[in-house]
Amino acid sequence: MLKNKVPVLVCIAAFNLLILAGAYSQKKLTTIIVDAGHGGSDNGAVGIYEGSLRSKEKDVTLAITKKLIAQLQKELPDVKTLPTRTTDVFQDVRDKARLANEMGGQLFLCIHADSGPLKTARRQIGTREETRYRYTYTGKGRKKKKIPHPYRVTVPVYEYYKLPMQRSGTSVWIFAAHKTSDKLKAIMEGGEDFDVEAGSESDSAYNNFDFNSPEGRQLAQIYAKRFQERSDKLATYVIDEIEKTGRPTGGVNQRQVGIRVLQSTNMPAILVETGFINSYEDERYINSEKGQQEIAEAITDAVKRYKQQIESSNKNTVQLETKAPKEEKNAPAEFETRTTKETKVLQVQSDKVKVEIFDDGEVDNDIVSVYFNKDLIVDKKSLTANGYTFNVNLVPGKTNELVLYADNLGSIPPNTALMIITDGVNRYEVRLASDLKTNASVRFELKSQKPQL
């Protein structure tokens, strides 16, 4: 995410703070909170390229939020849809969070507009005269003299201006609950005696929980994981609905945050970057009645699908949580639902192989998981320019396949990784590209060991 690192990170940092402890999941979706990002003295991003409408993110988000609330109320009349603000007022992100929690939100929709660094261009606006000097020399040794000869030249005068961004489109951000311990997984698979989707009566018992105790942390992580899955689901629906409008999209992006934030998540939440305020087309689109309405309708359709989905799955929650784990073990792993493209076959000399994995090229927040012989060995790791190292032990006679699974596309699709693989003798560099439909794999062939002399 280097390309527009600063603005997006500011928005995301604000988003993180919004998640505090409070009410927990209920069976029916009855309350949605819509937050118009920024406000008052906080303009958010501003259109500043040449020819820009000079629009401010805080105004765009408020306008879209109003249309979104109207649309949600029209389409889902039984659901309370409440704004965090209805006027141009400054709110600390903590205030936005407090409001959302106090209003009993079960879903938090944050509306923003994207931005990024702009290129500067120049054009000639005239000329001016300038005196320059040519020099000649007379004499020799100590008597050598430098004689200036002035002459006039005409030089161009330039004006500098900002070019609009070339990137455009809508993207959605969610949290990534990337660290799930084995113990947590065990609990989630129904080993412990409670129901994650318990009704409000039993929820109230957990409200007094000390979330810093080991049990509290586990419970909170379960909620966080559930919220993340739901946020991911809704985010995917939003992108899907946006795609139906023909707009470009930047897909669903995950942001890894500390466990502290995950612990305190109290409702599924998504952040919609509706468009780039510094893109010529996007700025006009997100400021237009038509564009704002189209975005409002797309998000509303996504929320409707989400509501239907969670409410029908909640009906089956008890069975799923308590009886399904055994069946789940036979279900295909997540990566098996995609096609896997074999990128490279490596002849290695040792059954112990070290793998270092990097983001290939520009670091753009690619998140990947790695499976080795169908076992998850790297779970949702954000790729950086600094490598992440792990070891695999090859099994003689087996396929020995390492599969790269894209958990997102990063900001510059596809999701690309550089793997540096060493077997103690040789070093291999393998570049892998995966996306949301295709995995990339490396297969190892174990060369027969040299006979010991």
> CA 89, CA 356: separation in Å to the nearest integer?
48
Looking at 192-279, which runs of residues are DSSP E strands? 249-256, 269-276
Closer CB to Zn ion, 66 or 80, in the complex: 66
Q: At residue 7, what are phi and psi to the nearest 5 degrees?
A: -60, -45
Closer CB to Zn ion, 105 or 275, in the complex: 275
> CA 49, CA 51: separation in Å to the nearest integer?
6
Q: Which span sits near Zn ion by CB under 5 A: 5-13, 75-83, 214-222, 245-253?
A: 5-13
Compute the least distance from the CB of residue 6 to Zn ion, in Å. Answer: 12
Compute the least distance from the CB of residue 198 to Zn ion, in Å. Answer: 35
Interface with Zn ion: number of residues (CB under 5 A): 4
Compute the least distance from the CB of residue 168 to Zn ion, in Å. Answer: 16
Q: Which span sits near Zn ion by CB under 5 A: 28-36, 42-50, 65-73, 126-134?
A: 42-50
Compute the least distance from the CB of residue 35 to Zn ion, in Å. Answer: 10
Compute the least distance from the CB of residue 324 to Zn ion, in Å. Answer: 39
DSSP letter (8 states) at residue 372: E
> CA 130, CA 114: separation in Å to the nearest integer?
44
Q: Find the angle CA(448)-CA(440)-CA(363) to the nearest 5 degrees.
A: 115
Q: How far apart are the first and last CA of the chain?
A: 53
Compute the least distance from the CB of residue 38 to Zn ion, in Å. Answer: 6
> CA 24, CA 264: separation in Å to the nearest integer?
11
Which pairing describes strands 145-162 and 120-138: parallel, antiparallel, or unpaired? antiparallel
H/E element, 216: helix 214-244
Compute the least distance from the CB of residue 112 to Zn ion, in Å. Answer: 3
112 binds Zn ion (CB under 5 A): yes
- Residue indicated by tokens 């209003």: 103
Q: Which span sits near Zn ion by CB under 5 A: 110-118, 246-254, 362-370, 434-442?
A: 110-118
Closer CB to Zn ion, 37 or 190, in the complex: 37
Count other Cβ atoms within 10 Å, centred on residue 87. 9
H/E element, 380: strand 375-382
Assigned token pair, 169: 């489109």
Closer CB to Zn ion, 35 or 301, in the complex: 35
286 binds Zn ion (CB under 5 A): no
Compute the least distance from the CB of residue 272 to Zn ion, in Å. Answer: 10
> Is residue 256 helix, strand or coil?
strand
Closer CB to Zn ion, 56 or 226, in the complex: 56
Q: At what angle do helices 280-287 and 289-315 cross, to 10 degrees?
A: 80
Q: Which span sits near Zn ion by CB under 5 A: 3-11, 73-81, 331-339, 343-351?
A: 3-11
Closer CB to Zn ion, 64 or 353, in the complex: 64
Which pairing describes strands 388-393 and 415-422: parallel, antiparallel, or unpaired? unpaired
Compute the least distance from the CB of residue 62 to Zn ion, in Å. Answer: 12
Closer CB to Zn ion, 10 or 76, in the complex: 10
Phi-psi bin for 403: left (phi > 0), alpha (psi -120 to 50), beta?
A: beta
Compute the least distance from the CB of residue 323 to Zn ion, in Å. Answer: 44
Which residue number places its CB atom closest to Zn ion?
A: 112
> Is residue 348 helix, strand or coil?
strand
Assigned token pair, 145: 């003299």
> CA 34, CA 396: separation in Å to the nearest integer?
56
Compute the least distance from the CB of residue 44 to Zn ion, in Å. Answer: 4
Q: Which span sits near Zn ion by CB under 5 A: 21-29, 109-117, 164-172, 368-376?
A: 109-117
Closer CB to Zn ion, 58 or 381, in the complex: 58
Of 11, 109, 196, 267, the residue at the interface with Zn ion (CB under 5 A) is: 11
| Ranges within 22-41 binding Zn ion (CB under 5 A) | 37
| Ranges within 43-102 binding Zn ion (CB under 5 A) | 44
Q: Which span sits near Zn ion by CB under 5 A: 104-112, 183-191, 219-227, 352-360?
A: 104-112
CB-based contacts of 29, cutoff 8 Å, min separation 6: 79, 106, 107, 306, 307, 310, 311
Closer CB to Zn ion, 37 or 268, in the complex: 37
Residues 263-279: b if buried by 16+ CB within 10 A, e if exposed: bbbbbbbbbbbbbbbbb
Closer CB to Zn ion, 276 or 371, in the complex: 276
Closer CB to Zn ion, 172 or 403, in the complex: 172
Residues binding Zn ion (CB under 5 A): 11, 37, 44, 112
